[in-house]
Structure 1
Amino acid sequence: MSQAFDDAIQFALAHEVPWPRDPAVDPARWGVHHEDPPPYNRLRGPVHARGGVSGVVWRAGQELASWGEPERADLTFSVAKSYLALLAGVAHGRGLLPDPDEPVGQRLSGIGFDSAHNRTITWTHLLAQTSEWQGECFGLPDHVEHHRQVAHDPKPPAGRKGEPRGLQPPGSYWEYNDVRINQLSLALLHLFRQPLAQVFQEAILEPLGGGTDWRWAPYDDAWVEIDGRRMPSVPGGSHWGGGVSIGARDQARIGQLVLDQGRFGGRELVPASWIARMSQPGTIAPFYGWLLWLNRDGRLFAAASPQSVFMVGAGGHYVWVDPAHQAVVVVRWIDPARVHGFVNRVAKALDSA
């Protein structure tokens, strides 16, 4: 069966992202922080050398193909945003976050949701990237990400990256903003009152049979005290360093959990209703759900089924969950400019498999 994917695999291997494998060798060509205005265009957390292009294809929970080093724990950048959405679902299942439309500050005071502008921000706003949260999170102001353009955002640029713009009411404007994602992570830390890496390991990775070699690193200065304990507040990506380092097979396990509506081995790890909501289009940004990229109109990837959802990270990281084919596809370190060719080839193989 793996031969059916040989064309896609060879295509991926031939189109590695043009970043150095070791960020220390040529730091000016590694990462996305260089696009930020100074003094924010620097790393604030640890990074490490990476492997080459790797990935897996699963169907109905069975591995059909693999390439590269699928067990290697590599940085995965904004794929970690989807992990925060899953953690919010765990909190919902435990009764810690009963209503996602509840203002965050109603349950958590003193962590950045008390101002007149921020007090109406809900969990839904944060998960949908429509919060318009204003402030600083561990020294990074929200406006560093104003006017940010990412590959799958159809909105044309309206200003220079990092140039402050007038804020809209919470829930009325979509913007891909890593500072606000880090603020969501901080809020989840205060909900769980234990490190998010520990919650993710115990609630998701261990039950799935994974989590033996992974880590979720904070920025060097992103630590808070809760209940007398010093805890890291982890970022939802590796924009400024830190973030999740994980293997492709563990990423496939997580993708399979989304495909299976939050259930594994007869257990509900994340409520099915929460998984379903993650995959629903927002009214302002119908191409986006709750920290998932959607493909409802085929605009994201024309060859993928409209039911497909994607976890996407800078540096060429994609987790493709395709209910139409009962498939999960992970590819790491592919050149984003060539990923459509990979998706086309995998889609063709899935159709014929």
Structure 2
Amino acid sequence: MLLALNGTVACSPNLNVPSQPIPERDIAAKAAAMAGASILDIDLYTPSAVLPGCSGKNELVVRTIESPTLQSALQQAQAYSDSQSGLALMVIHQDALIYESYADNVSVRSRTESFSMMKSVTSLMVGIALEKGVIKNVDDPIGNYLDEWRNDPRERITIRQLLTMSSGLQSFPFGVPGGETEKLLYSTNINAVALGYPLSGTPGAVFQYNNVNSQLIGAAIDRSLRRQGNGSFAKFMQENLWCPLGNGEATLWLDRKGGSPHFYSGLQASARDWARLGELIRNQGKVGVKQIVPQNWISEMLRPSDTNPAYGLHIWRGQAWQNVRKYDPASSFGVSHSEAYLAPDVYFFDGFGGQRVYIIPSENLTIVRVGEASMTYDDSIIVNLLLAAI
């Protein structure tokens, strides 16, 4: 293992390291240090595993906008993003970058914290893991991969149920000092925390957005890789997704040095990297002529789940319009969608407070929007402005 100068953990050919004693951490102090952090404060998300990337392999083609109508829509979209503390806005249309703008303190090379947009990346990695034989079947019980749950009722939860947020595992409230959600963020052993979540409902019955689902999926892939002698999740992601995409250097937030990534959050990457991820989905898993993610997995990701038609396999769907999109049916918190989308096939990565990658295949359109967390962000405005103009 190689340690970078900034305290992060660089990917080496083999990240299987001898077991080390798990260090202790003052979770309350860590939570206080993270409170109010900007998404630009990526130095707070340490230690981390570095994805070196392979920038230059898949450069975005740039095209000049000639349509006054589209130029006006882009200006309006930019103004709205700015009003919601926007930091970056990118638009790719018909395979070309037609718009790219950054706030004064941000550049094309800036990496930002993406929050739950990592969940959609974890789903892409499931598709690759299935193709490579790391995971046998998406309908496998998770107990096949997590030894701690053998002979436990939770072992029967399937990977699909975790992906559709219908695992039946307990959902704990945010903002409780020392609570389970805080431990899942800041513990030095987040997989142990995740494995301690109790079953509170019937798996497959109810949609309940829960970070623990993503953590368990990633842990299953990581453990299977290590059992097969194929290194870590970070190494697997670098070799099979990040580098083939032509993405630049990025970081995965770890719970401790040599420990586990946060599989539901904590991927720090540039707006252009996120744009290439969106384009990967729009192009049915291909980069040029090369199939990076199986086409059938992309189709599976985008299909509506049984318990929530607005959700697929760790990706949101715009077809089932609601004025307020709820993450949890029992919670009052949600994201405004003031209008129904003007296209029937809007899919998106959702990061807390307005981090988004929107993918609209019918219009050959991908939009990346990055900004400081805003609780008044409206999901329909930028997308519909551009759809109406295109």
Both structures adopt the same fold (TM-score exceeding 0.5)? yes
SS at match of 1:339: coil
Q: Kindly, what percent of the aligned residue pairs are identical?
A: 24
User: Cα deviation per residue 1:118-138 (whole Å; 9 max; x = unaligned)?
Assistant: 1211111111111124799xx
Aligned partner (choices 267, 271, 286) of residue 290 of structure 2:
267
**Cα distance in 2 between the residues matched to 1:288 and 1:352:** 27
Instruction: Give the corresponding residue for 1:171.
Output: 204
SS at match of 1:319: strand
AA at the equivalent of 2:120:
S
AA at the equivalent of 1:9:
Q
**Cα distance in 1 between the residues matched to 2:152 and 2:198:** 18
AA at the equivalent of 1:215:
T
Instruction: Give the corresponding residue for 2:92.
Output: 58
User: Cα deviation per residue 1:155-175 (whole Å; 9 max; x = unaligned)?
Assistant: xxxxxxxxx997112222221
**Cα distance in 2 between the residues matched to 1:118 and 1:166:** 7
**Cα distance in 2 between the residues matched to 1:172 and 1:247:** 37
1:326 aligned to 2:364?
yes
- The alpha-carbon distance between structure 1 residues 252 and 9, as it changes in their structure 2 partners (threshold 3 A), is same
User: Cα deviation per residue 1:172-215 (whole Å; 9 max; x = unaligned)?
Assistant: 222111123212211111122222222222211211211x2211
CA contact (8 A) 1:56 1:70 kept: no
The structure 1 segments of at least 4 consecutive aligned residues displaced by more than 3 Å after TM superposition are 133-136, 334-339
User: Cα deviation per residue 1:290-310 (whole Å; 9 max; x = unaligned)?
Assistant: 101111223354135221111
CA contact (8 A) 1:121 1:133 kept: no
Instruction: Give the corresponding residue for 2:24.
Output: none
Aligned partner (choices 112, 115, 125) of residue 74 of structure 1:
112
Instruction: Give the corresponding residue for 2:42.
Output: none
- The alpha-carbon distance between structure 1 residues 191 and 287, as it changes in their structure 2 partners (threshold 3 A), is same
SS at match of 1:251: helix
- The alpha-carbon distance between structure 1 residues 195 and 232, as it changes in their structure 2 partners (threshold 3 A), is farther
**Cα distance in 1 between the residues matched to 2:286 and 2:388:** 26
1:181 aligned to 2:214?
yes
CA contact (8 A) 1:121 1:170 kept: yes
1:130 aligned to 2:166?
yes
**Cα distance in 2 between the residues matched to 1:74 and 1:272:** 29
CA contact (8 A) 1:304 1:343 kept: no
Instruction: Give the corresponding residue for 1:153.
Output: none
CA contact (8 A) 1:91 1:191 kept: no
**Cα distance in 2 between the residues matched to 1:278 and 1:62:** 25
1:90 aligned to 2:128?
yes
Q: How many residues align?
A: 278
**Cα distance in 1 between the residues matched to 2:253 and 2:198:** 31
Q: TM-score, normalised by structure 2?
A: 0.66
AA at the equivalent of 2:278:
G
Instruction: Give the corresponding residue for 1:253.
Output: 276
**How large is the Cα RMSD of the aligned pairs?**
2.6
Return 5+ residue gaps in structure 1 as ranges: 17-51, 146-163, 224-230
- The alpha-carbon distance between structure 1 residues 177 and 209, as it changes in their structure 2 partners (threshold 3 A), is same
- The alpha-carbon distance between structure 1 residues 192 and 252, as it changes in their structure 2 partners (threshold 3 A), is same
Q: TM-score, normalised by structure 1?
A: 0.72
**Cα distance in 2 between the residues matched to 1:318 and 1:345:** 11
Q: What's the CA shift for 1:316? A: 2.0
**Cα distance in 1 between the residues matched to 2:244 and 2:206:** 37
CA contact (8 A) 1:195 1:233 kept: no
Return 5+ residue gaps in structure 2 as ranges: 1-64, 182-196, 326-336
Q: What's the CA shift for 1:264? A: 1.2
1:315 aligned to 2:348?
no
1:15 aligned to 2:84?
yes
Q: What's the CA shift for 1:334? A: 5.4
**Cα distance in 1 between the residues matched to 2:170 and 2:376:** 36
**Cα distance in 2 between the residues matched to 1:307 and 1:3:** 23
Aligned partner (choices 244, 253, 270) of residue 217 of structure 1:
253
